[in-house]
Amino acid sequence: MFGTPAYAQTAAANASSGGLTDLLAGPLPMLAVMGVLFYFLLLRPQQQRVKQHQSMVAALKRGDTVVLNSGVIGKVTKVEDAELGVEIATGVTIKVVRSMVSEVRTRGEPVIANDSKTS
């Protein structure tokens, strides 16, 4: 099986040592490193986004222009505990669950023109 008897003796000696060094060089540290990476690359940013969205939704007030998850843009006309009244056209008001608001646009936000005028 082994090419030389000396090689066979060294392989047998290394296999029988075992102990703490095999545990530290084994899969346990790799799993721990992968767990830490998983937390910092996936879980933590998602938790921060959820907190930011909750604070944005909690700060909604009458007159804010909002974008819903469906892409509908409207102005908040009525604020309740769990729902909002959003005017999407003149005289057309719909009830929306607060968590469906994806973005709040402020009145002072500059509008980017579609045409590019150069002087």
Instruction: Express each pLDDT in 15-54 by its tens digit.
Output: 555 666 766 677 778 888 899 999 989 999 999 999 999 9
What is the residue extent of each domain of the chain?
Answer: 1-59, 61-107
Structure confidence at residue 73 (pLDDT): 95
Structure confidence at residue 108 (pLDDT): 43
Structure confidence at residue 48 (pLDDT): 94
CA distance 109 to 112: 9
CA distance 68 to 96: 9
Report CA-CA distances (Å) from 9 to 3, 15, 16, 77, 83. Answer: 11, 10, 11, 83, 76
The string of pLDDT tens digits covering residues 72-87 is 999 999 999 999 999 9
CA angle 111, 116, 119 (to 5 degrees): 115
CATH architecture of 61-107: Roll (2.30)
